[in-house]
Amino acid sequence: MLRVRTSPPLRGVCRVPGDKSISHRALLFGALADGVVEADGLGRGGDNLSTAAALRAMGVAIELGDGRARIQGVGFSGLRQAAEELDCGNSGTTIRLLLGLLAGRPFETGLRGDASLTRRPMGRVAGPLRQMGAQITGRGDPARPGDVFPPLRIKGGSLTGIRHELKVASAQLKSALILAALQARGRTELREPARSRDHTERMLGFMGAPISVDSTGAIVVEPDGWNGRLRATRLTIPGDLSSATFMIVAALIVPGSDVTVEGVGLNPTRSGALDALRVMGAELEVEVTGDAMGEPVGRVRARASQLRGARIDGELALRAIDEIPALAVAAACADGETVFADLAELRIKESDRIAALARELGRAGAAVSERPDGFSVVGLAGRPPRGGAVIPEHDHRIAMSGAILGLRAAQETTIPAADIGTSFPQFAATLADLGAPIETA
């Protein structure tokens, strides 16, 4: 259990764990390489460990050290049928990307997860993979006829390339279909309704995969004539911007604070949180200092700011979708109303994040109105929120949001510590190093 009290100014420089999304891909793509892949800065949260464990179960040798991994690539053809179902834990990225990976493998595999993961729909991934030739079965739900939920079974085999228009912009869905397309006969073209995170395209291009983006924005995979193995190389994973956003928002809402996060990924397809905070009046300095695998990397400095309400929707909301819980805390401390819209995807994350944020911000004293695809928050405009017990429903981002809101609360705030380890095991220690009164009870 974490206990958080009203904080003095936060000051200093910090780093955050390796980007969770990129770390998943480093493990998966490293397994498909033609030799040893060294990955520096790898995230060690529970989700990434689930991906590593699944790959080990399929015969991939992975050594994990302090922030790094050594992966013995085996290529697609070197993957072996696991002796048992693959446990994906709480990770939607793990299960969806494994579906794409296994779609072309000539064996049957079971995929399961925790109670939260079993509630997450997989039909939008299973449908196009079935169209390519994979056989996928799972649990049905009368409330969502035609959809499929974990636990799943997939029998892979011979795949054929497709032309497919994604109904939603989703990096997980897109990445799963790209992994399948790399194993298929013929050309695959994928189109999104809007541009989602492009970590997969960047890393696969860096490792020599036959993938490109044409003049119309379609993702094109043409594997015919390719040897089916990525180029073994060293991978450097930047700091996770989603994790960094919690440190940034903490600095913005605690008076007198001045915090710099270094070594963080600044990919423009997922930096919407920074743009949203600027719209809200945040005093931010963002500097790109380098490049890792085609990913821009740099530092973000945040000073305490008088935030104001804003509208976060459309393309901006898409680029900030995983950071919405942290942005909601900023909105709760702002002056005026903030409207979050075009975010129906938040209903099917680790929790129903719209409902969870409405509940937790309401408990803290903010006025919240919930809608099917979003919510609005009337900020406290300088008034301290209420403390109390955060109930994150095993959602790491809801747990961290409750913790940083507690830094402004008049009473002590308590948060289940175990729920944070999914993505940011060092969360409490990092805040404490910046001066926050946070402790593990």
- Residues tagged active-site: 322
The residue type found at 332 is A
Residue 76: strand, helix, or coil: helix
CA-wise closest residue to 365 among 394, 324, 400, 332: 332
Question: What residues contact residue 118 under an 8 Å CB cut-off, 6+ apart?
Answer: 112, 139, 149, 150, 151
| Letter string b/e over residues 399-432, b meaning 16 or more CB atoms within 10 A of that residue's CB | bbbbbbbbbbbeeebbbbbebbbbbbbbbbebbe
The residue type found at 259 is V
Dig out the tokens for 282 from the structure: 């945040």
List, as one string, the DSSP characters of 320-378: TGGGHHHHHHHHHTSBSEEEE-S-GGGGGSSS-HHHHHHHHHHHTT-EEEEETTEEEEE
Residue with tokens 């979003």: 374
Pairing of strands 337-340, 367-371: unpaired
Residue 111 near residue 99 (C-beta atoms within 8 A):
yes
Residues across the chain:
441
Tally of CB atoms within 10 A around 68: 17
CA-wise closest residue to 43 among 57, 63, 23: 23
Pairing of strands 337-340, 374-378: antiparallel
Residue 271 near residue 49 (C-beta atoms within 8 A):
no
Which ranges of 182-288 would DSSP assign to H, the alpha helix? 199-206, 241-253, 272-279
Residue 88: strand, helix, or coil: coil
Residue with tokens 């008076």: 255
Q: CA-to-CA distance for 246 and 69, rounded, in angstroms?
A: 26
Residue with tokens 């492009």: 198
Residue 317, judged by CB atoms within 10 A of its CB (0-12, 13-18, 19+), counts as: buried
